[in-house]
Amino acid sequence: MTTNVLRVARVLHGTTAEGPGLRSAVWFQGCTIRCPGCINPHLFSQSGGRDMTASDIVLGALASQVEGLTLIGGEPFDQPAAGATLARKAQELGLGVIVFSGYEYETLRGRGQDTKSFLASIDLLVDGPYQAWNQETDRALVGSTNQRFIHISDRYSSYRPEIAANRIDIRVLPDGSIDVAGFLDMRDLTNLLEATGTRRKSRRVIAE
């Protein structure tokens, strides 16, 4: 099955907080994994968010002159056909594709054709569920020690999460709220928002 329509919670073009280089980040709406301690339970429901086409997302990324897409969630592989379309279009136009999934690579490889097509259009997969009892303290971008960086192509083979820094993207919106992307744990996020006297609008999931 192919589809050009994705259910997304948020798209952020031109961020440096979601992987190497300047990126467009796409938060998928809906996650059936539901890890205990997930920082983004508001993304669990598949009825939230809005529909967007893969074409519009890729065109927005190109207009923002990003190096690539980061697909996070929610769970991108809960929408394998749409995810495959988005990733393929992005790669065809020269963009890199990084995907965070709460499923392990071996599980995904055993799934159907849509999932296989999605995997085939990814450069770097960060896999595994968030495990609150195995907090990561050394590597960038991931929240727990079980999560792996699996290079499906060599595009990001020089990326070293052991020495990379977590970056945070903070934007003040016209209504006075702040929009946060990047890696923060809940305590740091709460402290940040209290210090700035603003309220939470959205942020990146802490660990896929």
Q: Is 75 in the site for ligand SF4 (CB under 6 A)?
A: yes
Place of tokens 């006297």: 197
From 12-20, 73-81, 148-156, 181-189, give the range in contact with ligand SF4 by CB under 6 A: 73-81
- How far from chain centre, in Å, is Cα 60? 16
- From the CB of 102, what's the least distance to ligand SF4, in Å? 2
Q: Is 207 in the site for ligand SF4 (CB under 6 A)?
A: yes
Identify the residue among 83, 96, 102, 182 touching ligand SF4 (CB under 6 A): 102
CB nearer ligand SF4, residue 89 or residue 139: 139
Burial letters for 156-177: b for 16+ Cβ neighbours within 10 Å, e otherwise? beebebeeeeeebbeeeeeeee
Q: Which of 189, 187, 181, 188 is nearest to 205 (CA)?
A: 181
CA–CA separation, 81 and 161 (whole Å): 29
CB atoms within 10 A of CB 113: 11
Identify the residue among 33, 132, 150, 192 touching ligand SF4 (CB under 6 A): 33
Q: Is 73 in the site for ligand SF4 (CB under 6 A)?
A: yes
Q: Is 17 in the site for ligand SF4 (CB under 6 A)?
A: no
- From the CB of 144, what's the least distance to ligand SF4, in Å? 9
Give, for 196, the enclosing helix (H) or strand (E). Answer: helix 186-196
Q: Which residues make up the interface to ligand SF4 (CB under 6 A)?
A: 31, 33-35, 38, 40, 43, 73-75, 102, 129-130, 205, 207-208
